[in-house]
Amino acid sequence: MPFETRFPGGAATPGRQRFSPRQEEVLHAIEPIFLREGIRGIRMGDLATEVGCSRSTLYEIAPSKEDLLLLVLDRMMFRISERGLAAIEAADTHVESMGAMLTVGARDFSALGPRFLDAVRGHPPARMLFDRWVTVCRDALERMIAEAVLAEEIRPVIAPVVAEMMFSAVLRFTEPDFSRTTKVSSADALTQMVDVLLEGLRPRT
């Protein structure tokens, strides 16, 4: 494909921590619990019981549930960026790359769920980590938009403005109150947003 980009692996957390196979299994098992419940009201003992491990195993991974949240969030955002990269590399044009990245990203962001996002927004270090990952993805989208303008696949636009607008929409549609107030699922809203935005970028005749 004509556009090449790379998400810096572990950009948000330099020197990514390594875990044993057992610890990887435990972290993987914690993810759906945090997605379902967030972290409010959950204790380390509750996590150990549901995951089927000892408390000492959890404490070897992280000293608190908040620190576990950071690890889980970083792993999830890394996978989201990797899926976005795979979708980009499978596309044939800049516009297709943008659509692929936004569609995959929108689907993955909407799957995070309201309780998990509430937990992230309610814990400043997690919110900071989330925002840094969003910046990595937004910067990649900005580069794609600029390349698409140069290739005349879309009309001339200011790439940073359009990228910020697109990601602001993605984040708004994944906020916990969006589906409650609009009665529209985040997934449906994000899919329509991608179609509308890409159509609006087509060259004017």
Q: What is the CATH number of the domain that holds 158?
A: 1.10.357.10
Domain membership of residue 22 (yes or no) is: no
Task: Give 8-53 pLDDT, tens digit per residue.
Answer: 444 334 345 788 899 999 999 999 999 999 998 889 999 999 999 9
Rounded-to-integer distance, Cα 170 and Cα 191, Å: 10
Domain membership of residue 25 (yes or no) is: no
Which of 45-49, 124-128, 134-138 has the weakest average pLDDT? 134-138
Regarding predicted confidence, which is higher, 105 or 131? 131
pLDDT of res. 101 = 85
Domain membership of residue 29 (yes or no) is: no
Rounded-to-integer distance, Cα 7 and Cα 51, Å: 31
Domain membership of residue 38 (yes or no) is: no
Mean pLDDT of 162-189: 78
% of the chain beyond a pLDDT of 70: 91
167 and 137 Cβ atoms separated by less than 8 Å: yes
Domain count, the chain: 1
Give the Cβ contact number of residue 205 at 10 Å. 3
* Domain with 136 in it: 65-200
Residue 34: Cβ-neighbour burial (10 angstroms; 0-12, 13-18, 19+): buried
65 and 43 Cβ atoms separated by less than 8 Å: yes
Predicted structure pTM score: 0.79
- Average pLDDT over the chain reads 84
Mean pLDDT of 52-77: 93
Give the Cβ contact number of residue 115 at 10 Å. 16
- Banded pLDDT at 3 (limits 50, 70, 90): very low
pLDDT of res. 176 = 67
In the DSSP assignment, the letter for residue 62 is: -
Domain membership of residue 50 (yes or no) is: no
Domain membership of residue 148 (yes or no) is: yes
Give the Cβ contact number of residue 72 at 10 Å. 25
pLDDT of res. 84 = 85
Task: Give 142-172 pLDDT, tens digit per residue.
Answer: 999 999 999 999 999 999 999 998 888 877 8
For 122, the token pair is: 């309610």
